[in-house]
Structure 1
Amino acid sequence: MGENLPALLYIAASILFILALRGLSSPETSRAGNRFGMIGMAIAIATTLFVLENKGLGAWVLVALAIAIGAVPGAYIARRVPMTAMPQLVAAFHSLVGMAAVLIAWAAFLAPRAFGVGEPGHIHLQSALEMSLGAAIGAITFSGSVIAFLKLNGNMSGKPIILPARHAINLGLGLLILIFIGMMMTGEQSWTTFLWLTIASFIIGFLLIIPIGGADMPVVISMLNSYSGWAAAGIGFTLENMALIVTGALVGSSGAILSYIMCKGMNRSFISVILGGFGGEDASAGAGAEETRPVKQGSAEDAAFIMKNARKVIVVPGYGMAVAQAQHALKEMADLLKEHGVEVKYAIHPVAGRMPGHMNVLLAEAHVPYDEVFELEDINAEFRTADVAFVIGANDVTNPAAKTDKASPIYGMPVLDVENAGTVLFVKRSMASGYAGVQNELFFRDNTMMLFGDAKKMCEEIVKAL
């Protein structure tokens, strides 16, 4: 029983990880899902420590030190990070998973006896493939996640950076990576071969993400999430660690499925997403001449009067709400409207914010009832029956040009049909374009009233007026 106990515990941890994913599929069960994941990870770590029972005091000290190095700053950062910076945090964590895979692959390559994968220069064929794939995918995940972090954090422009002949360069690097993996499997297992494999993978990771525009970042986040899972699974085979294999496969497959769903939500090609070949050449098309068309501007008092006399109001939150941390003031406004007999619902676009579920988390934080929050396909038809669409900080996901302007970089992306509401109240700081760099045609519609200012302050002023 003692010999089989680690395997049984790893199976238990894997089951808890599956339950965690199941729980995270719905806001109502997301807290339970998080608990399942935390318990599963605790079991996996405890089992790993149990396996170290006969490895000596030095191994225990090293593992304890590693846990402290990861846990202390990780807990501090997670507690301190604002919700607006959550996408950057996710990208940063993805980069760490990728680098961990690279370092483990190199450890196995330099000390194959310790990992039971062969002798120096004579690594088993299967193990050579596993560590090569782990190093390659891990390096791509690391460098790609670093670029995603810099773009999301504002350290690098969110606009696409188009390199000459980038597709040819990426293809050449991809072929080089395959050649180096083949060399590793056919006996050419020198450290220079493995080094060039790693360097080529780091470079292609940078080149895959640099051309992608800010509007496509939600898809990039889910794509890198998938990459990090496959990197972990590949290294799990090298370490012969079942929990790592199962966990990596879960993360990789769920991230791929999420990427596919996000692609449908943005009218993107899934293959193009995987290869990093999207959001590039077209993304600059949104840049045009300075906008001079007039818009209808209103005040908080105007908005309060219009909404108080409405039958149905649909709220459309976006990244501007997150930046202003306006979710609590918005919830207070909605509660007051409901006291006046107004029906209030919330419409969430799949890519609103900077990562999947960004708006859902913020609304849940403000204790907005789950049954008032609807996805695009469930509520889009209701805008025709809504007296008011209250758009707070959302831009690209409400742009009618996505349905009419074939020259627009967001053409074909499913958007919320807010223009069909009786009145559109649009809360925005200025007339600046959204993250995609495209001017929103909704601003200039006859039934749109612009409410310029900070989203939180505007909601608070509307509350006072109500």
Structure 2
Amino acid sequence: MSWLHDMALINSLYIVAFALFIYGLMQMRGPRTAVAGNWVAAAGMGLAVAATLLIEGMGNWLLIGLGIAIGTVISIPAAYRVKMTAMPQMVALFNGLGGGAIALISWAQFRDTAGYAHEPVHAVIASLFAALVGSISFWGSLVAYAKLQELLPGRPMTLGRAQQPVNLAMIVAAVAAAIVITTGGASGWWMIALLAAAAVVGLIVVLPIGGADMPVVISLLNALTGLSAAAKGIALDNTALIVAGMIVGASGSILTSLMAQAMNRSIPAIIAGGFGGGTTTPSSSGGSDRPIRSTSAADTAIQLAYASKVVVVPGYGMAVAQAQHAVKEIATLLEAKNIDVSFAIHPVAGRMPGHMNVLLAEADVAYDQLTELDESNSAFPQTDVTLVIGANDVINPAAETDPASPIYGMPILTVHHSQSVIVIKRSMSPGFAGIDNDLYYNPKTTMLFNDAKTATTDIVEELKQL
């Protein structure tokens, strides 16, 4: 059975695994093929793990098997039980665990090699980088999870004027510990100091970031986890970790850049925090003193039923209320009346990239009904009724009209160009950005105040009567 440990065989398995990684990632570009792409990439990872375990002298098989068993017992039931509305939290948590695992592996390597004694310099530097970034990703992801799960307030939480000095001090401390370790002969306390300083950086960098920036933060932390894995692969001379980590790091970095562009925010500004989760700030045009128009489920149903083209704009309010199935039923009833129905998806709607797409796919909304930002905006002037369900900041005209607004310049869904707009919302409370929404006071807008699930269910019943 010595052929099982042949490196040519192992490298061949790695090549097949990497091909599956790349093909699976390509499949994830669109909602039609994303599920299949996920399975393909998972098969690639399974093959890469199997190939790694074939390396001679890999380790204690009992501990490896025990670890796999414990992870399987915990993760599969948790993944099955998680609600679609809680998917961002799960993504943040799972991503954080990846970074934490890399940090612990670096610590284990430090201990097993007697403080990196006789290890090549490049391997030591790569391992310390992996420990630093992995620890930041782990603790930062825990904060993101706690904010999304509402265990912590969604508003920015800062140290005031001490914020940046503390950030800098912790980074300097972590780098200093890494330099001491690299010189050789350092005790294990220096490694613990590095991990602890990185942990503080992860905590205090993410705490000041408000809910409006959370989709970008999740993507950025995912990229950091990938980079730490790639660095750990260099330290351990493990090809699978290098390739998988670089794919995750590169794709996460690209996604982070695209998400930041979609919010007209720079990544340094997002890291600086302070955006989102505050109290409402009256706009320059008058704030809440302006009149609004209310409507009912019955009137909404009538208006929808006599339209030729309807666009639905989903937001986090739909996710919280789990109203996606009722929304799908509204679309089905309108289509039965030969009404053109589509869904306008903003890239940062919800709390993670693709959040609305995932929810609507769960409700069996056809993929070709989902339109992206540019396509949606070109269609609004020809739209009779736009039905907004729980969206807020991504439809605020202040992004185009109010230079004093913190979201000014952010690309939005220009629903105010529709002939008529109906907004389903529980109250006039602001969105994550904490600012008033000028759309609510537009003469073309009517407000249906209710929980999204209750409101959409009532509209369904009214449509059935028409």
TM-score bin (small chain): over 0.9
CA displacement, residues 185-216 of structure 1 (integer Å, 9 cap, x when unaligned):
33353323222211111111111101111010
Q: Would you say the 8 A contact 2:158–2:204 is kept in 1? A: no
Quick one: distance in 2 between partners of 1:329 and 1:251?
35
Q: TM-score, normalised by structure 1?
A: 0.93
CA displacement, residues 157-185 of structure 1 (integer Å, 9 cap, x when unaligned):
10111222322322232233333333333
Q: CA, structure 1 residues 426+89, in 2 after alignment: closer, same or farther (shift >3 Å)?
A: same
Match of 1:277 in 2: 272
Q: TM-score, normalised by structure 2?
A: 0.93
Aligned ranges for residues 67-78 of structure 1 at < 5 Å? 67-78=68-79
Q: Would you say the 8 A contact 2:136–2:199 is kept in 1? A: yes
Match of 2:168 in 1: 171
Q: What is the CA RMSD across the aligned residues, in angstroms?
A: 1.9
Q: State how many pairs are aligned.
A: 455
Q: CA deviation at 1:309?
A: 1.0
CA displacement, residues 334-393 of structure 1 (integer Å, 9 cap, x when unaligned):
111112121111100010011000101111111111111111122112111111110011
Aligned ranges for residues 202-241 of structure 1 at < 5 Å? 202-241=199-238
Quick one: distance in 2 between partners of 1:409 and 1:429?
24
Give the one of 138, 143, 166 matched to 1:142.
138
- 1:403 aligns to 2:400 (yes or no): yes
DSSP-derived class of the 2:427 partner: coil
DSSP-derived class of the 2:421 partner: strand
Gaps of 5+ in 2: none
Q: Would you say the 8 A contact 1:286–1:409 is kept in 2? A: no
- 1:343 aligns to 2:344 (yes or no): no
Q: CA, structure 1 residues 303+120, in 2 after alignment: closer, same or farther (shift >3 Å)?
A: closer
Quick one: distance in 1 between partners of 2:25 and 2:442?
42
Q: CA deviation at 1:149?
A: 0.7
Q: Would you say the 8 A contact 1:399–1:415 is kept in 2? A: yes
Q: CA, structure 1 residues 162+188, in 2 after alignment: closer, same or farther (shift >3 Å)?
A: same
Quick one: distance in 1 between partners of 2:349 and 2:213?
11
Percent identity between matched residues is: 46
Give the one of 410, 414, 431 matched to 2:411.
414
Q: CA deviation at 1:286?
A: 4.4
Q: CA deviation at 1:120?
A: 5.4
Quick one: distance in 1 between partners of 2:321 and 2:288?
25
DSSP-derived class of the 1:407 partner: coil
DSSP-derived class of the 1:51 partner: coil
Match of 1:116 in 2: none
Match of 2:48 in 1: 44
CA displacement, residues 385-434 of structure 1 (integer Å, 9 cap, x when unaligned):
11111001111111111222233222221111011111101011111111
DSSP-derived class of the 2:7 partner: coil
Name the amino acid aligned to 2:28: L
DSSP-derived class of the 1:256 partner: helix
Quick one: distance in 2 between partners of 1:123 and 1:297?
70
Quick one: distance in 1 between partners of 2:288 and 2:414?
23
DSSP-derived class of the 1:27 partner: coil
DSSP-derived class of the 1:296 partner: coil
CA displacement, residues 126-154 of structure 1 (integer Å, 9 cap, x when unaligned):
12101110100011001100110111110
Match of 2:17 in 1: 13
Q: CA deviation at 1:444?
A: 1.2
Match of 2:35 in 1: 31
DSSP-derived class of the 2:288 partner: coil
More deviation, 144-153/238-247? 238-247
Q: Would you say the 8 A contact 1:322–1:362 is kept in 2? A: yes
Q: Would you say the 8 A contact 1:11–1:243 is kept in 2? A: no
- 1:64 aligns to 2:65 (yes or no): yes
Quick one: distance in 1 between partners of 2:201 and 2:29?
32
Name the amino acid aligned to 2:146: L
Q: CA deviation at 1:76?
A: 0.6
Name the amino acid aligned to 1:92: L
Aligned ranges for residues 149-188 of structure 1 at < 5 Å? 149-163=145-159, 164-187=161-184
Match of 2:89 in 1: 88
Q: Would you say the 8 A contact 2:123–2:236 is kept in 1? A: no
Quick one: distance in 2 between partners of 1:179 and 1:239?
23
Q: CA, structure 1 residues 261+15, in 2 after alignment: closer, same or farther (shift >3 Å)?
A: same
